[in-house]
Homo-oligomer: A and B are copies of this chain.
């Protein structure tokens, strides 16, 4: 098989620990399927600030740009939280999304059978929940002009939320196309009763919809969606929305599964390039102890295989191996009922590789 280049950004906190296990899984697939991966690691996030003065060094960007896909651990931590904007890990995250044109964030929220009990929702409400939030990632209020100015009422801060038709079209097409491959239901979320960007969003969705006659479309206001996710999570298939609403709703959706330590995400642009990362953060409180759960990052590799490389079978093999190891009762501390039987990061990685 053709060699695939993967840029690896371990980042901060538990990032390097979980990435190490994901890389082991990657290597195992070379053995099993004859794939060839060329990996290049780079500094990114807080560690890059410490060592180079900026969260997104040119070196990291170059390595990502010449790669076929990027695997990211996690960034951030209290150490950098009160830094000025330019030297904060999040600024690196926003920068890399923009620089790589990753306009689409795909966040599946699924239930792991063995973690059903971990949710704060009643099991009968959760039953059958399997949804994807498709979030616009390079536009809206995240990237619009921001500034301060004086006013009669003290300093005044301004953020600008901007969307053009093309930006809306490309993410909405993605939403429809993902829905077509699933249960064929698309929920478009906006605040069209208040925001001009939302009105343009809704008009655009309505204009595009006839191209996808097989997909059932509903428009839901963002406040109502925050409620419906709680009330009827299993009725959602694909949710498509703008950047800020997607940030909030995808976290709500992830949390209600009770499986947040297990969820992975993809950030995609045009073509097959993508950045893959676990949904969880850098968990500085448990970093360096060898107890972090590597499953979300390992599943990010499976997502990379499926979405960027079209390695469906290998992706399935990884996902099934994770399932088997969990079914056999193995747990890291975060998901263990009996904490005294919890295994560490490396042991979990080894078990998954052995099960592949």
Q: Does A20 contact B (CB under 8 A)?
A: no
Stretch in contact with the other chain, from A7-15, A39-47, A245-253, A314-322: A245-253
Q: How many residues belonging to A are interface residues under a CB distance threshold of 8 Å?
A: 58
Q: Does A121 contact B (CB under 8 A)?
A: yes
Q: Does A324 contact B (CB under 8 A)?
A: no
Q: Does A337 contact B (CB under 8 A)?
A: no
Q: Does A130 contact B (CB under 8 A)?
A: no
Would you call A153 and B125 a contact (CB within 8 A)? no
Given contacts A200-B148, A251-B227, A252-B227, contact A160 B158 (CB under 8 A): yes
Q: Does A165 contact B (CB under 8 A)?
A: yes
Would you call A197 and B230 a contact (CB within 8 A)? no
Q: Mark A139-151, 1 if CB is under 8 A from B, else 0.
A: 0011010111001
Would you call A157 and B251 a contact (CB within 8 A)? no
Would you call B161 and A165 a contact (CB within 8 A)? no
Would you call A154 and B158 a contact (CB within 8 A)? no
A88, A154, A164: residue with the most chain B Cβ atoms closer than 10 Å: A164
Would you call B120 and A199 a contact (CB within 8 A)? no
State how many copies of this chain the complex holds. 2
Stretch in contact with the other chain, from A188-196, A264-272, A286-294: A188-196
Would you call B160 and A164 a contact (CB within 8 A)? no
Which residues of chain B are within 8 angstroms of A223 by Cβ–Cβ distance? 247-248, 250-251
Q: Does A79 contact B (CB under 8 A)?
A: no
Question: Please, how many angstroms separate the alpha-carbon atoms of A148 and B161 in the complex?
Answer: 12
What distance in Å separates the Cβ of A163 from its nearest Cβ neighbour in chain B? 6
Question: Please, how many angstroms separate the alpha-carbon atoms of A165 and B197 in the complex?
Answer: 26
What distance in Å separates the Cβ of A119 from its nearest Cβ neighbour in chain B? 8
Q: Does A99 contact B (CB under 8 A)?
A: no
Q: Mark A181-208, 1 if CB is under 8 A from B, else 0.
A: 0000000000101111101110000000
Which residue of B has the minimal Cβ distance to A230?
B255
20 residue pairs from A and B, CB less than 8 Å apart: A122-B122, A141-B161, A147-B196, A154-B166, A155-B164, A156-B165, A157-B162, A157-B164, A157-B196, A157-B199, A159-B196, A159-B197, A191-B244, A223-B250, A226-B249, A226-B255, A230-B256, A231-B255, A245-B248, A252-B252
Would you call A195 and B226 a contact (CB within 8 A)? no
Which residue of B has the minimal Cβ distance to A167?
B153
Given contacts A158-B160, A161-B158, contact A226 B252 (CB under 8 A): yes
Would you call A160 and B160 a contact (CB within 8 A)? yes
Q: Does A224 contact B (CB under 8 A)?
A: yes
Question: Please, how many angstroms separate the alpha-carbon atoms of A124 and B166 in the complex?
Answer: 47
Which residue of B has the minimal Cβ distance to A159?
B161
Question: Please, how many angstroms separate the alpha-carbon atoms of A145 and B303 in the complex?
Answer: 41
Pick the 5 closest A-B CB pairs, nearest first: A154-B165, A153-B166, A157-B200, A146-B196, A227-B255
Q: Does A222 contact B (CB under 8 A)?
A: yes
Would you call B156 and A163 a contact (CB within 8 A)? yes
Given contacts A159-B161, A193-B90, A200-B148, contact A254 B227 (CB under 8 A): yes
Q: Does A94 contact B (CB under 8 A)?
A: yes
Among B125, B148, B196, point to the contact of A158 (Cβ < 8 A): B196
What distance in Å separates the Cβ of A249 from its nearest Cβ neighbour in chain B? 7
